[in-house]
Structure 1
Amino acid sequence: MTEAAHNAVGAKETRRIVVRRNSASGKSSVAAGLREKFGRNLAIVAQDNLRRIVLRERDRPGGANIGLIDLTARYALDNGFHVVVEGILYADRYGPMLQDLVRAHRGVSRCYYLDVPYAETVRRRATKLDTAYLQQVTPEHLKDWYRARDLLPDCLETVIGVDSSLEDTVAQILHESRLDAIAPIDR
């Protein structure tokens, strides 16, 4: 038995989606849009929540949040939830965990990379209404964190360009993951 088969997670019917990119690129909006369109039984595993809120940890190689994201996604999948993992999720730090989840998941796994240029992330940041966020995350922070085309290896990701609207991005992911063909379970 292969290691991936031994550590198999979820079911043939579950969907696991990853939405990655730089800060202020729209990842959280896409995840929220997926839940709004799909309904209940869709877990959002947000890197910022687990890393910054639950653990209050800096984003560093080998951080504890990497394992917590993995465990949370696996737990939700094993309990019949569809899962959206969203975050910056730098390829060099989070890639091995995300690749292992793809290999281990029994159902459909889809990974997406929102390809948004730095100037657009700065523009989107300025539209946020959260004053605490605007004070904590400056354009200088965005520049320090920005990585162009930080793709996962093995062509695991579908790249979605800046010209795709939020609605179009959500519709694309729902269709390609086949979530649009599944009825939500009212838990």
Structure 2
Amino acid sequence: MAVGKIEQDYLRRVVLREHGSSHTPTAAPGFITATTRAALAAGYHVVLEGILHTSQYRWPLRELIAEHPGPSFTYWMDVTLEETLRRHAGRPDLTHVTADMMRGWYTPLDLFGVVGETVIAETSGLETPYR
């Protein structure tokens, strides 16, 4: 079985050219869930990754999870703003994104509230087992 990786940031910023925040309505949630549905319908296992703010993505993704007949797993990386800024500093392709911009986007524990949602601590390592 093939695995498809759907990157929220790529679809939102590159394909749709949307650079909004969690407070600005965008087409991205519908586009991303439609893309995910198409991949699932084609028989792919799908990894959907990104900063999926619940203000825009909660209901489209909860619906997607509810209608999917197979298993669905939801993970949240619980990383402090300070650690997020430190990790971001090592990404040369995103130098245009400032610390102030990231402070405005940062939402701690922005969980979807679905059954089995797993919170991963920033101190966890690759050896930590998750499902």
TM-score (ref. length: structure 1): 0.64
Higher helix share: 1
Instruction: Give unmatched runs, 5+ long, in structure 1.
Output: 1-39, 177-187
Whether 2:38 is the aligned partner of 1:79: answer no
**What is the aligned residue count?**
129
Q: Supply the AA of the counterpart residue of 2:101.
A: H
Structure 2 unmatched ranges of 5 or more: none
Cα deviation digits, residues 23-77 of structure 1 (max 9, x gap): xxxxxxxxxxxxxxxxx71111111111110110133554211111011101111
| Aligned amino acid, residue 9 of structure 2 | D
Residue 69 of structure 2 is aligned to residue 106 of structure 1? yes
1:141 matched residue in structure 2: 101
* CA deviation after TM superposition for structure 1 residue 156, in Å: 5.1
- The match for 1:46 is 7
Matched residue, 1:164:
124
- Answer yes or no: is 1:126 the counterpart of 2:85: no
Which one has the largest radius of gyration? 1
CA distance in 2, matches of 1:156, 1:143: 28
* SS of corresponding position for 2:127: helix
Which fold has the larger relative contact order, with Cα–Cα distance below 8 Å and residues 6 or more apart in sequence?
A: 1
Task: Give the TM-score taking structure 2 as reference length.
Answer: 0.89
The answer to whether the 8 A contact 2:62-2:114 is kept is no
Runs of 4+ residues over 6 Å off in structure 1: none
